[in-house]
Chains A and B, each alone.
Chain A
Amino acid sequence: MTDEATPIPDYPFAQPHVLEPPQEWAENRAKCPVAHVRMPSGDVVGLLTGYDEVRTLLADPRFSRNLAREGGARLSNTEDGGMFSRRNPGATDIQEGPGHQRWRRLLSRAFTVKKMEAWRQRIQGMADELVDAMMAGGSPADLRTALALPLPVQVICALLGAPSEDQEKFAYWSEVALTLTKYTQEEVDTAQQAFLDYASDLVEQKRAHPGDDLLSELTLISDSEDGRLSHDELVSTARGLLLAGHETTSNMILKMTALLLAERERYEAVVADPELIRGTVEESLRMDPLAGVGIPRFITEDTEVGGVPVGAGSNLLVNMAAANRDARKFPEPDRFDPLRENNSQHVTFGAGPHFCVGQTLARVELQVVLGTFARRLPGLRLRDKPEELRPRDGVAAGGLQELWVTW
């Protein structure tokens, strides 16, 4: 906790190096379970960096992810306060409680382990085609444009039944939606409207020409007006899936590749032994080097976090990547170990009722990408020195701007 004499530090903290976490995480974890930090909006929130604290908070259904309310902290410097404080039509009821569970169960059926495993082959085909084109274009290549963006866009578009040509539009709308300091309110409003219009048109197309895809299925459910999904909720879900389905995965493909190639023995180990693919993906997710700001919760009742009282009406921010480096959970947390026994217990996908809907899909995509690289590009290397990599600043999701590779 902070007292009057210590100034409240600005957040997000600076990193010593793009692939190395800020020192403040470890200091906070040791000293204060709830550390006060100032967001770019000027609002102060309590930051959680310990594994147990983060997991317990996320798993507690009493606490709300809806910050568009009296007393909700604004994270971004735009007037609307950013992603978590924005009011989107059709998003309120499905955000928590019984409405959320109803919505979540409509989605979960499309993301079961069996359904996702059935996608693996198709994703492999898409990855191979993109790698063919990248190799034909010659070394070096920017992995973002060659694979990290198009692959997740193609996957989520195929799942939803949307055309994937518009990938640069999705990427732009999503990045603007996630602004911390990079975009103005006007840019946010324009991009929001364009993204919603796009999602709305897509739903109309599905209504006119239903196909064998998730969005057609959800449109039918919505049109049956049985109370499971309103029209606005349907459009908001389409937009949300287009955003969540590609942004984080695309980002993570670059971060994983950077982590592995910056200390190349990590990559060489996978080339030598493909059995290490799963563990290497999990360890890359755990050690996510540019994880962004984290996710907030609005505290609706007095509670305690790691022995510190937290009053109703406060706002807490959990940093998943910081929690993933808690030595109480992951001994020698800064050591990359694909054989770490509990490495899939990281909180990169959250925890509790909002645990990432798409995590099985994201894991399959990352495994396919790493497997394809190891098989086809054993000589893959970073073109630039790790300290020259450019972070994507000013965006809540963090990540890299680009990643140039050679082979």
Chain B
Amino acid sequence: MKITVDQEACCGSGLCVLRADQVFDQREEDGVVMLLEEAPSPEDFEEVRAAAAGCPTGAIRLAE
């Protein structure tokens, strides 16, 4: 799985961080998403999929 995030579209909700803080974080200065792990390990797949589905701006894309 490969993750990409669209920092322009992100509204800084932090929902992805709540789901998977080993994969996503927020920039301190403006709350925008930061990707910690472009290629997550298989045990994180489920949480990452949930984070992508739950992102309110559709800013998380997955290539599987």
Q: How large is the interface on B (under 10, 10 to 19, 20 to 34, 35 or more residues)?
A: 20 to 34
A105 x B30 contact (CB < 8 A): yes
Question: Which residues of the partner chain B approach A353 to less than 8 Å between Cβ atoms?
Answer: 9, 11, 57
Q: How large is the interface on A (under 10, 10 to 19, 20 to 34, 35 or more residues)?
A: 20 to 34
Q: How far is the CA of A108 from the CA of B59 in the complex (A)?
A: 16
Residue of B whose beta carbon sits closest to that of A56: B58
Q: How far is the CA of A351 from the CA of B54 in the complex (A)?
A: 10
Question: Which residues of the partner chain B approach A104 to less than 8 Å between Cβ atoms?
Answer: 11-12
A351 x B53 contact (CB < 8 A): no
User: Of B17, B18, B29, which is in contact with the most chain A CB atoms at under 10 Å from its CB?
Assistant: B18
Q: Give, as a whole number of angstroms, the nearest-CB distance from A56 to chain B.
A: 10
Interface string of B20-54 (1 = CB under 8 A from A): 01000010111110000000000000000000011
B56 x A352 contact (CB < 8 A): yes
Count of A-B residue pairs with CB < 8 Å: 62
Interface residue from B17, B18, B29, B56 paired with A109 (Cβ < 8 Å): B29
Is B13 part of the binding interface, using a Cβ–Cβ cutoff of 8 Å? yes
Q: How far is the CA of A350 from the CA of B56 in the complex (A)?
A: 8
Q: How far is the CA of A359 from the CA of B54 in the complex (A)?
A: 14
Is A344 part of the binding interface, using a Cβ–Cβ cutoff of 8 Å? yes
B14 x A360 contact (CB < 8 A): yes
Q: How far is the CA of A116 from the CA of B9 in the complex (A)?
A: 22
With A355-B13, A360-B14 known as contacts, the answer to whether A108 contacts B54 (CB < 8 A) is no
B11 x A342 contact (CB < 8 A): no
Q: Secondary structure at chain A's binding surface: helix, strand, loop or mixed?
A: helix
Interface string of A101-121 (1 = CB under 8 A from B): 000111011011110100000
A113 x B26 contact (CB < 8 A): yes
Interface residue from A59, A106, A112, A359 paired with B26 (Cβ < 8 Å): A112
Interface string of A85-128 (1 = CB under 8 A from B): 00000000000000000001110110111101000000000000
B56 x A355 contact (CB < 8 A): yes
Q: How far is the CA of A376 from the CA of B3 in the complex (A)?
A: 44
Residue of B whose beta carbon sits closest to that of A359: B13
Interface residue from A111, A112, A344, A360 paired with B54 (Cβ < 8 Å): A344
B56 x A108 contact (CB < 8 A): no
Smallest CB-CB A-B distances: 9 pairs:
A108-B31, A108-B12, A105-B30, A113-B14, A355-B56, A112-B26, A113-B17, A351-B56, A112-B31
